[in-house]
Amino acid sequence: MPNVRLTLPDGTVREFPQGVTALEVARALSPRLAAEGLAARVDGRLVDLTEPIETDASVQIITPSSPEGLEIYRHSSAHLLAAAVLELFPDAHPGVGPPTETGFFYDFYREKPFTEDDLAKLEAKMQDLVAADLPYERVYFPKEEGLKIFEQKGEFLKCQLIQEKAEPVFSAYRTGKFLDFCRGPHIPSTGRVKAFKLLSVAGAHWKGDERSYPLQRIYGTAFFSKKDLDAFLAKLEEAKKRDHRRLGKELDLFSIQDEAGAGLIFWHPKGGIVRKEIEDWLRAELVARGYDLVYTPHAMRLHLWEISGHTNFYRENMFGPMEVENDHYQLKPMNCPGHILIYKSRPRSYRELPLRLAELGTVYRYERSGVMHGLLRVRGFTQDDAHIFSMPEQVEHEVEECIEFAFQVLKTFGFDQYEVELSARDPKNSEQYAGTVEEWELAEGALKKTLERMKIPFKTMPGEAVFYGPKIDLKLVDAIGRPWQLTTVQFDFNLPRRFGLEYVGSDGRGHTPVMVHRALLGSIERFFGVLIEHYAGAFPVWLAPVQARMLPVSEKHLEYARRIAGELRAAKLRVDVDDRNEKLNARIRDAQLQKIPFMLVVGDREAQSNTVSVRRRDSGDAGAKAVSDFGAWMRELIDSRATKW
């Protein structure tokens, strides 16, 4: 039998018999490597450890420390779940079961709903299958033969997938009694799954189509060690405590009203105060940085979205159109066409560029009911949107200024960690994007050079660009280590050309400007949701809806409490008085539950000395302070926008 030459990750070349498997290669290299191996990468392609290698190739064994390791492991954990479901609930019909960033899920069609008790039973059955150490066995079927096998099993969802996606000969994986149409790869056996947990059951729809089969989605997670699993579950519990939907209700910040419609946010007075503070800071910064503030209509003629290309590339996410006087109008999903019309309203000179137009503009986008999530995924929201019209030679500087502005946002609102991604086009699907290859190379190069010049680490994400240009995404990392996508800076050479934008250059001729789309907070709603969870509702003093609460010891101290509250309010501080006929300790506890930064207790001693006894929400008694001193301290915390004190 001839040999094959295999190149290992360190560059060495070893010869093995033709048909050798990656597992056999691993055993020859190191027993430990064979024991840790999950899958292999052969000439860049991920394969099972048991797949024969027939030609010369580069070979890398995938282990738990490999970037792909956890994803493969979780994919196999999803198959383990499906195998357990079919053991206990043979009336369930499996759909799809991919890995996710935090674990995995598997969708099932079943008339009877799964319960929390069912999850416990399924976990126990999964443990039984782990103990059985069943192989993830890869098998191949000609398409028609395989289709008949799945038809005989009554797996109508799998049959749809096979008809749509299967090659003439396709692969499937057998795990115990479970057979799944799947490309793999998978870990060698169920015995390799060491630490997992089923988390919840939620509703879903087949292929995300609300008109299709209703499904039940079982969520789970898996890690290579119990220690990592326990740390994740502890983080999950902390996230539940910080859930902005629960805190939004408890703190009376916002609501979503079924009577009005899903995904539409009602800002309550306290939430409105926080929003005002965010917007006031942002508008002041915009003006200081040379932006012009504009306002555009909520609905405009559909013709604009046809020119922009949104009706071709974005139609399924748009509300409308509406017919008005024999014309069609569209609720705006984006602010850009409105800003373009302002630019186009009169001739422009190169001396005016860059022109920076900013708007806190409310937009409307259709999101399926299954993906909406409190403030984080909604149908109506306000973007802190800006569009910068510049000459090509100015664009790198403008992108750099946008990124620096984004860092200022992070610092101001108390975030000190972030991740940066450069979203590029997918060269294999050029038809998805507007513009020429040369324009895309120019745009991607400009963004890349800017990040490199600023010495900002970033990750390139092929295929993640929007249809009109590449973009830089900045993800902030919150207090418990979760990344949130908010800031985006997008290069656009497409819309200025589509709308016929021009400026008169120094040569007296017309030129097409370059356009940068920029959002820093992403949307006010999403940013507010992230803020709630980052601070667990305990906002810094400058953002807190109520900054201090007066707590008179008894009714006879009420007049003094109201007078001091009036003085502090006159100094532009947000202070209220709890004059309820409740015990002082109960009122202190209520103020702490409402996460008010300061509680000001006043009795005989305070009234006589014109002081307040200060209690901090985080550390309790802070002693007595003169009213003027307390007011000055508060003003310093607010003006400095302190996030810790």
* Active-site residue (options: 74, 186, 348, 471): 471
Give the number of other CB atoms < 10 A from CB of residue 405.
19
* Active-site residue (options: 48, 107, 180, 385): 385
- Mark whether 315 is an active-site residue: no
Spatial contact of 523 and 361, defined as CB atoms under 8 Å apart: no
Question: Which residue do the tokens 């019309």 mark?
Answer: 341
**How many Å apart are CA 575 and CA 586, to the nearest integer?**
19
- Mark whether 397 is an active-site residue: no
Q: Which of 473, 582, 419, 387 is nearest to 591 (CA)?
A: 582
Helix (H, G, I), strand (E, B) or coil at 203: strand
Q: Can you point out the beta strands (E) in 32-150?
A: 39-42, 45-47, 52-53, 57-62, 93-94, 104-109, 137-142
For residue 110, give the DSSP letter: -
* Active-site residue (options: 60, 330, 383, 490): 383
Q: Which of 407, 287, 422 is nearest to 357 (CA)?
A: 287
- Mark whether 471 is an active-site residue: yes
Q: What angle do CA 180, 182, 183 make, to 5 degrees?
A: 155
* Active-site residue (options: 387, 425, 549, 617): 387
- Mark whether 365 is an active-site residue: yes
Spatial contact of 500 and 443, defined as CB atoms under 8 Å apart: no
Question: Which residue do the tokens 């992230």 mark?
Answer: 530
- Mark whether 608 is an active-site residue: no
Phi and psi, residue 436, nearest 5°: -90, 165
- Mark whether 211 is an active-site residue: no
Structure tokens at 183: 């490309």
Spatial contact of 196 and 170, defined as CB atoms under 8 Å apart: no
For residue 67, give the DSSP letter: T
* Active-site residue (options: 310, 356, 365, 615): 365
* Active-site residue (options: 74, 205, 517, 617): 517
* Active-site residue (options: 159, 182, 336, 402): 336
Spatial contact of 96 and 106, defined as CB atoms under 8 Å apart: yes
**How many Å apart are CA 450 and CA 471, to the nearest integer?**
12
Q: Which of 137, 108, 133 is nearest to 122 (CA)?
A: 108
Q: Which of 182, 200, 181, 203 is nearest to 110 (CA)?
A: 203
Phi and psi, residue 195, nearest 5°: -145, 115
- Mark whether 498 is an active-site residue: no
Active site residues: 336, 365, 383, 385, 387, 471, 517
